[in-house]
Structure 1
Amino acid sequence: MKVADLLKGKSPGVMTVQPTDTVAELAERLRQARVGVMIVSRDGRSVDGIVSERDVAYGLAEHGETLPVLQVSDVMTKAVITCSPQDSVAEVSKVMTVRRIRHLPVKDGDRLVGVISIGDVLKSRLSEMELEANVLRDIAIATR
């Protein structure tokens, strides 16, 4: 299975935030959308960074009460690891596990086309394993 297959089952579009937005604005958007991450992008198509709940928590520890007025660019992760729609789910799963990443932006060339989460990957892998188990069970029943 490919990352493109995971994206087919998700809502179209990617939630982005401007690097100049405040952390308070970011927190409210995360809450309203009930998501844990947003892609930081000046134009909605490129990836300037990624910002997660974890970045906000670490920012609170580092900046204290000034955090809400800081810009997203002050707390975002700038070195973003991405994947492509052609990557296999197994490859992406390994990257996410080794790098301890819960969300990966998906880029097709230079264009942002989606975001996948560890939950998306695990759901896909679980479905594959259930299918294999069902096939093996059917073979076992048929050979009795």
Structure 2
Amino acid sequence: MKVSDILRIKGDTVHTVLPWNTIGEAAARLAGPPAIGALVVSDDGFRERIAGIISERDIVRRFATEGAGLTRLTVADVMTRSVVTCSPDDSLVEMMALMNRWRHRHLPVVARGKLCGMVSIGDVVKQRLAEMTTEAGVLRDIYIASH
């Protein structure tokens, strides 16, 4: 299973925000609909350049120091600038390793320098459960056939 297979199932929609939007605007986008966990920050509007990523966690952590004044800050003030990405050709195992190593719940998918999707830990869990269900069914069928 590759990242491209997950994108084929879930789609390639990526929710973005501009760096000069306020945290209040970003929080409203995260709350939905649809409710999402992270926004890719892109300053070109065409999904070409990734300036950063902002997640619910980023906002909550910054709220701990800024309080209610946080909503007036810009996305650029709070976003994670060093973005870990994956490729459509990466395997599910490689993607899980990246998420675990960097403690990220969302990975933008980049192909040939262009943003082409986003995968979340929820996507990984959903796919892994589907694989495990299939594997269990095959093993059960083999066991039944051999007895």
Same fold (TM over 0.5): yes
The alignment covers a number of residue pairs equal to 144
TM-score normalised to structure 1 length: 0.95
Q: Aligned partners of 2:87, 2:119: CA distance in 1, in Å? A: 11
RMSD: 1.1
**Which aligned segments of 4 or more residues in structure 1 are displaced greater than 3 angstroms?**
none
Paired residue for 1:81, among 84, 101, 105?
A: 84
In structure 2, the residue matched to 1:7 is 7
1:25 aligns with 2:49: no
Can you give the 5+ residue segments of structure 1 that lack an aligned partner in the other structure? Answer: none
Q: Aligned partners of 2:101, 2:58: CA distance in 1, in Å? A: 19
Alpha carbons 2:12, 2:118 under 8 Å: kept: no
Paired residue for 1:96, among 89, 95, 99?
A: 99
> How many percent of aligned residue pairs carry the same amino acid?
49
Residue 130 of structure 1, CA deviation: 1.3
Q: Aligned partners of 2:142, 2:106: CA distance in 1, in Å? A: 37
1:55 aligns with 2:62: no
Alpha carbons 2:84, 2:108 under 8 Å: kept: yes
Can you give the 5+ residue segments of structure 2 that lack an aligned partner in the other structure? Answer: none
Q: Aligned partners of 1:47, 1:5: CA distance in 2, in Å? A: 23
**What do residues 37-62 of structure 1 show as CA deviations (whole Å, max 9, x unaligned)?**
10000123121100001111111112
1:126 aligns with 2:129: yes
**What do residues 83-142 of structure 1 show as CA deviations (whole Å, max 9, x unaligned)?**
000000111012112221110000002100010001101111111111111111111111
AA of the residue aligned to 1:74: D
